[in-house]
DNA sequence: AACTCGGGGAT
DNA sequence: ATCCCAGAGTT
């Protein structure tokens, strides 16, 4: 496959207008590219950059990541979301150490065998780190190709995705693969944007089917929308006489998997029942609850109304430090991997109200 | 094939 | 408020 007009025009644009100075563009090892790719899944570049820099400082190579305590990895992910990414990241680092002698594989199949690496991320590593030809298909590329070829339908649909992959393969050149891969993502992020694309600045305008029809707004097709359910929960700040707060580790799967959070209680409890519920469920001796103003946190598929309450705890009976629970001072808790709204709540309860 | 998994930025 | 983002894993 030789570079067609698509790739040539794109590369010329990239040379003049693309992003050439992102943190993972320096010292392009497979490790550094891989971490950037995982962080960038469903997360915008500007959000990722500070996390990436801190992560690289703490885990400079695959061995340091493989050997780290999982809570250390999660704390560096706190606020990024999709926490399974962090757990899979460390799992893959351990696999690289144990099964690949600490060196990242450079084939599609071997890379996809690592937890958290799918077709597109494997291709990005092959292209960016190893300079070998491989086609990527992320959100930016999907938008560019859906418009260029006027591919109808929502890319989440298997048939649409299949067509987009075919176009991705067809346009990917064998020369300058790093620049092409970065360039098509940059074009999607900077020119072929979701709304009000800058078609007059686009190097692909001439061949773009959506532009020719003045229908860039129709591509890619939008996701069928569903109403998000509303859920409610109590979250209790149980504080002992030394000012320590009880934290609870969430189960490895499900929302906020593996993170430390506040104990939750069924919203069916009334405020007047909280004290007794805490005492019965956790074996604690609690005082009267002090209600904190509630707030709403929105996930991709539901809304969660969080109603916090603070209860003083007397004595040392009841739940102690173990694998699932910890009594920690505020500043110690903030060093753990916490869900974003819990971090806000512990940092500044008043600010949480504004969310 | 449909669903799950977060949080933030853009609009 | 809604949509989307350098997607992958599970069911």
CA pair distance A216, A194, nearest whole angstrom: 9
Confidence label for A1 from pLDDT (cuts 50, 70 and 90): very low
Catalytic residue among A37, A175, A248, A332: A37
Average pLDDT on A12-38 reads 97
The reply to whether A341 Cβ lies less than 7 angstroms from strand B is yes
Three-point CA angle A5, A9, A14, nearest 5°? 145
Q: What are phi and psi of A314, to 5 degrees?
A: -105, 150
The answer to whether strand B lies under 7 Å from the CB of residue A161 is: no
Nucleotides of B under 7 A from a protein CB: 1-2, 4-11
CATH 1.10.340.30 assigned to domain A5-218? The reply is: yes
pLDDT confidence of residue A142: 98
Nucleotide nearest to A226 (CA to C1'): C2
The integer distance in angstroms from the CA atom of A5 to the C1' atom of C10 is 40
User: How would you label A247-286 residue by residue, b for 16+ Cβ within 10 Å and e otherwise?
Assistant: bbbbeeeeebbbbbbbbebeeeeeeeebbebbbeebebeb
- CA A117 vs CA A38, A41, A80, A147: distances in Å: 8, 10, 18, 27
Judged against a pLDDT cut of 70, whether residue A309 lies above it is answered with yes
Torsion of CA A13, A14, A18, A23, to 10 degrees: 180
For residue A42, which nucleotide's C1' is closest to its Cα? C5
Q: Determine if strand B comes within 7 Å of the CB of A47.
A: yes
Strand C nucleotides in reach of protein CB atoms, 7 A cut-off: 2-9
pLDDT of residue A263: 97
Per-residue model confidence as pLDDT tens digits over A63-93 = 999 999 999 999 999 999 999 999 999 999 9
Instruction: Read off the pLDDT of residues A325-350 as tens digits, 9 standing for 90 and up.
Output: 999 999 999 999 999 999 999 998 77
Q: Determine contact, residues A203/A180, Cβ cutoff 8 Å.
A: no
Residue A146 CB in 7 A reach of strand C = no
Closest nucleotide relative to residue A223's CA, C1' based: C3
Query: Strand, helix or coil at A19?
Result: coil
A121 touches strand C (CB under 7 A): yes
CATH architecture for the domain at A230-353? Alpha-Beta Complex (3.90)
Please report, rounded to a whole number, the percentage of residues in chain A having pLDDT higher than 70.
97
- Please report, rounded to whole angstroms, the spatial distance between the CA atom of protein residue A81 and the C1' atom of nucleotide C1: 21
Whether the per-residue pLDDT at A2 is higher than 50: the answer is no
Distances (CA, A) of A213 to A60, A154, A207, A209: 49, 19, 11, 6
Which nucleotide across the nucleic acid strands is nearest to A299, CA versus C1'? B6
| Domain chopping of chain A, boundaries | 5-218, 230-353
Task: Report the C-alpha gap between A337 and A248 in whole angstroms.
Answer: 11
Q: Is A332 tagged catalytic?
A: no
**What 3 state SS string does A106-149 have?**
CCHHHHHCCCCCCHHHHHHHHHHHHCCCCCCCCHHHHHHHHHHC
How far is residue A209's CA from residue A33's CA, in Å, rounded to a whole number? 33
Average pLDDT of chain A is: 95
**Closest residue to C2 (CA, C1′):** A225
Cβ(A130)–Cβ(A106) below 8 Å: yes
């Amino acid at each position: 496959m030789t570079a067609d007009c698509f790739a040539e025009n794109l590369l010329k644009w990239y040379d003049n207008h693309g992003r050439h100075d992102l943190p993972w563009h320096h010292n392009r090892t497979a490790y550094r590219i891989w971490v950037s790719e995982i962080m960038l899944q469903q997360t915008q570049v500007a959000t990722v950059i500070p996390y990436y820099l801190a992560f690289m400082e703490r885990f400079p190579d695959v061995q340091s990541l493989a050997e780290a305590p999982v809570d250390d990895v999660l704390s560096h992910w706190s606020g990024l979301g999709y926490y399974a990414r962090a757990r899979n990241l460390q799992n893959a680092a351990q696999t690289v150490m144990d099964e690949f002698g600490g060196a990242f594989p450079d084939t599609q199949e071997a890379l996809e065998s690592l937890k958290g690496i799918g077709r597109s991320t494997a291709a990005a590593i092959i292209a960016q780190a190893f300079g070998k030809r491989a086609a990527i298909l992320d959100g930016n590329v999907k938008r560019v190709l859906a418009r260029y070829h006027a591919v109808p339908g929502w890319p989440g649909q298997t048939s649409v995705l299949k067509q987009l992959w075919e176009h991705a393969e067809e346009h990917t050149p064998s020369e300058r693969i790093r620049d092409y891969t970065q360039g098509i993502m940059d074009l999607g992020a900077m020119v072929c944007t979701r709304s009000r694309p800058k078609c007059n600045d686009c190097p692909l305008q001439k061949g773009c089917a959506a532009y020719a029809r003045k229908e860039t707004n129709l591509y890619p097709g939008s996701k069928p929308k569903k109403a998000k359910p509303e859920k409610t929960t109590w979250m209790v700040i149980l504080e002992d006489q030394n000012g320590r707060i009880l934290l609870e580790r969430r189960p490895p799967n499900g929302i906020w998997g593996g993170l430390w959070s506040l104990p939750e209680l069924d919203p069916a409890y009334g405020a007047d029942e909280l004290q007794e519920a805490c005492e019965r469920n956790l074996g604690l001796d609690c005082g009267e609850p002090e209600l904190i103003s509630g707030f709403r946190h929105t996930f991709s598929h539901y809304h969660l109304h969080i109603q916090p309450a603070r209860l003083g705890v007397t004595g040392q009976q009841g739940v102690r430090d173990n694998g699932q629970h910890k009594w920690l001072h505020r500043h110690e808790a903030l060093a753990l991997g916490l869900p974003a709204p819990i971090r806000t709540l512990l940092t500044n309860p008043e600010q949480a109200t504004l969310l």
